[in-house]
């Protein structure tokens, strides 16, 4: 059974760093892309970027380029989303999702979401 | 403001058929597949329709999708109370070089 299991909720202060995770299982981790999707409170879905764990090829949305870093560890079948300096506006639910193609939007499995709250 | 345009809300009574539209441009829907997701509040989105009109296993045939020109639509027939939730369309955008979503449509079953 394909599963994406994300790390737990985080509460951070502005300026702090954070890395959240998404562990894949039940399939060959290096054969699919893993994307990150943001959902701000009461708002819709926004694609942030995606990574192919097979060769670490990474693509970012222009809106998020330079704001976050996406990475993956093949040995632990885990993808990551990292902020070096959080802002209050980063408060949102973050989902990881698996896809066959980099930029199609064919997200067939999703993680349960990680709530990130940034507040002083 | 989302690249793909959806109506913010839709509604219907049990048993009815409702459709949700998704409007884009030649750089996205006009040239790429459309995907539809259902999100029940408080849960992760789920894939409902892929490649315009294909249903993943487990998705009832009450759900159907279509694409024409720069628009797409999702139809739900035999509406049921458990269909309530938010529905999102998505596609690839060649100009933005990424995935774009619609703003979402909140479906209410009256």
Q: Least CB-CB distance to B45: which of A45, A59, A61?
A: A45
Q: Which of A60, A99, A111, A67 is nearest to A85 (CA)?
A: A67
Let me know: does B8 contact B107? Beta carbons within 8 Å: no
Residue range A3-21: mean pLDDT, rounded? 98
pLDDT for B1 = 85
Nearest CA in chain B to A5: B44
Q: Which of A92, A111, A45 is nearest to B105 (CA)?
A: A45
d(CA B9, CA B59): 22
d(CA B110, CA B107): 10
Residue range B59-71: mean pLDDT, rounded? 97
Q: Show residues of chain B in contact with A103, CB under 8 Å.
A: 92, 97-99
Any idea of the CA torsion for A71, A75, A78, A79, to the nearest 10 degrees?
10
pLDDT digits (tens, 9 = 90+) for A42-53: 999 999 999 999
Nearest CA in chain B to A114: B44
Residue range A52-72: mean pLDDT, rounded? 97
B104: contact with A, CB 8 A cutoff: yes
pLDDT digits (tens, 9 = 90+) for B4-45: 999 999 999 999 999 999 999 999 999 999 999 999 999 999
A45/B101 touch (CB, cutoff 8 Å), yes or no? yes
Over pLDDT 90: what percentage of chain A? 100
């Amino acid at each position: 059974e394909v599963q994406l299991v994300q790390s737990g909720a985080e509460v951070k202060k502005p300026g702090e760093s954070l890395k959240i995770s998404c562990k894949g299982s039940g399939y060959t981790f290096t054969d699919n892309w893993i994307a990150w999707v943001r959902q701000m409170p009461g708002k819709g879905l926004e694609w942030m970027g995606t990574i192919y764990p097979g060769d670490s090829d990474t693509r970012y949305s222009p809106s998020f380029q330079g704001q976050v870093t996406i990475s993956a560890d093949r040995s632990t079948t885990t993808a990551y989303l990292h902020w070096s300096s959080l802002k209050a506006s980063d408060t949102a639910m973050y989902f990881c999702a698996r896809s066959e193609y980099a930029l199609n939007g064919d997200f067939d499995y999703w993680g349960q979401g990680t709530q990130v709250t940034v507040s002083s | 403001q989302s690249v793909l345009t959806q109506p913010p809300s839709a509604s219907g009574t049990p048993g009815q058929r409702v459709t949700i539209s998704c409007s884009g441009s030649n750089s996205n829907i006009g040239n790429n597949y459309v995907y539809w997701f259902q999100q029940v509040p408080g849960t992760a989105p789920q894939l409902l329709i892929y490649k315009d009109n294909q249903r993943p296993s487990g998705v009832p045939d009450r759900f159907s999708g279509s694409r024409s020109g720069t628009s797409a639509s999702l139809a739900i027939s035999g509406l049921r109370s458990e269909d309530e939730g938010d529905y999102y369309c998505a596609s690839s955008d060649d100009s933005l070089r990424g995935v774009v979503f619609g703003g979402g449509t909140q479906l209410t079953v009256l």
